[in-house]
A and B are shown apart, each in its own frame.
Chain A
Amino acid sequence: MKKFILTISLILPAILLLAQSDKYKQAMVQHIGKIESAFQSGNFLEIANSFERIGDAEKTQWLPYYYASYCQVISALVGTDKSKSDVLADKADALITKAETIAGGSNSETNVIRSMIASAHMMVDPQSRWQQYGQVSAGHIEKAKEQDPTNPRPVYLEGQSKFYTPEAFGGGKAIAAPLFEKALSMFDTFKPATEIAPSWGKASTQYFLSQCK
């Protein structure tokens, strides 16, 4: 019995820690799995709130806030009511700032989100905001590429922005297609650091590439 208690006392902290991190991982995997379906159901905000709760409880993990921010900004980008976009993008901005604070600075993935936030602001009134936010968005894409040259997501975003830019402005499908192809080949070689690290974007890249043809 003594031995048993000793064993337990040695093992328990490890188990507890394991259990804790396992709980975190499980929850993350579960919610990351929900993001895909949100494109149909449109309940991005619900998932964003769940991630934010995990982030608030964990306090030392940047990924929950990263995903919360990602869901907020996606809801702004796919939403039809552009009058809400500014507010959603501001919220996403606050969340990604939290993520960067915990992560000890910006990284390639947070800059990807920041680029999307600028795009969401721009989409409210592209004609008058293009000048201001277009530059910000492109700047974050460049930074994301610098911070991780193997990350396919900034390349995909660049393709997307070219896809939506009129031909006369140096955009169009012909310019976007090679970027999507490049992103696709990068997705094939890109290995996320962990199973909950950002790995999204491949399906969208394939979709856009099919639209270019």
Chain B
Amino acid sequence: MQTGLEEQVALYQKRIPIFTRSVKGRFRRFKTSVLVFAYAMFFLLPWLPWARSDAPSQAVLFDLPGRRFLIFGLTVYPQDVLWLALLLFIAAILLFFVTGLVGRAFCGYFCFQTLWTDFFIWIEQKIQGERPARIRLYRQPWDREKVLKVGGTHFAWLLASFWTGMTFAAYFAYAPQLVVDFVTGQAAAAAYITAGVLTVSTYAAAGLMREQICTYVCPYGRFQSVMYEADTLAVHYDARRGEGAHGRASARAGQRALAERHEKGLGDCVDCGLCVQVCPTGIDIRDGLQYKCISCGLCIDACNTIMDSFGYPRGLIRYDSEKNLAAAVPAKPRVEWKRLKTIGYGVALILMTSFLVYSVSTRGSYDRTVNQIRLPLYVVLSNGDIRNRYQIHITNKAGQEQTYVISARGVPAGALDLGSFQEITVKPGHSGTVLASVRLSPELAARTKHFELIITPRGKPAEARSETVRFDSPGRPT
């Protein structure tokens, strides 16, 4: 056997497995309730029925072939892309705003990587047991028990991953039909590819890579750290209180009561290591704030449990700001929002959200564009009359078929000619084009610079919209 092989530095760093201990407490409860709420939203939404005349009765349906998103009573068309831009802007500003106030709260409680990892750890714990059992199983040789338990965990993970992928695909097709088609091999190739890719990526990200996604892959975690300020709340270990004059020490006899410890110059930290054991990214918060910390607060719960059991005051690890920790007499931690940056984010958030709500609630039942045909700008007819032509494009955004009537104001009756289409009927979500021509005598043409084209949905005169258009004629400077 080759000697010295053990000392040799490995070329590639192996992931150090993390076995997290489960914990009870405020932040754990909050994290769990966010998880339950988010999962209920994600997994149940595609199955929520919603009566529709021209589409499957599904409350949320991203109808790609029909080029529209059906979201409850709202139909979103590609031309509403501004809404998507607004939504993304709002999401980004919300992230900045929250990060400025309470640090990486998004990472710890709301990010899908956190939620799915949490769920996968829960599965692991249900099958393999609590942390010591899992470590024992990890060190154990590959016997029947280990194969069954580890195999069972991975199988359960794959099932959860598959249903995640399947659910995602169900947003793009009528869910009950999709599941049947999927099983019988009738579904579209895109459905299999989507479900397959998401199964693999969920399994890899939440089951195998876990904290490596947050530390190596995720860009948000990295750029969120630049939004920290001295006032930002983050998970901190109160080192002054924890370490005392002579550092942390276990709670042996003679140094168990707080008074005894303080007398000996020992800190409040009993060095139980529970905060490290519960951390999903495997860090020691007592080393200070670090980039791997996702601010999930589980170490706070763990520490508080220990503090309670010894009868020490809570909050050795807590949400606090750097500023407050450095103060001579730290005050009670609180959210400090009176800063130019956070107020700016807040104002932008309110403005953009109100604009989006306004835009969604006041949109018309149809879109129209009127383009003057500019090749040629005008035509001189055989009797000398001048004719201009216009292309009218109507997109029906309402839920049902609608007929549109087109008329003109500002030109004599009979000047407007709509050719074969006196009115046009457009199916929901579709567009129709009408060519209109307006013919004026040379004298009238010289006087007419603009007139109005009026589009009226039949039976809904209140929704009539007019469009002012140019009328061009020869010999008049444009």
Q: Do A and B bind each other?
A: no
B residues near A (Cβ < 8 Å) are none
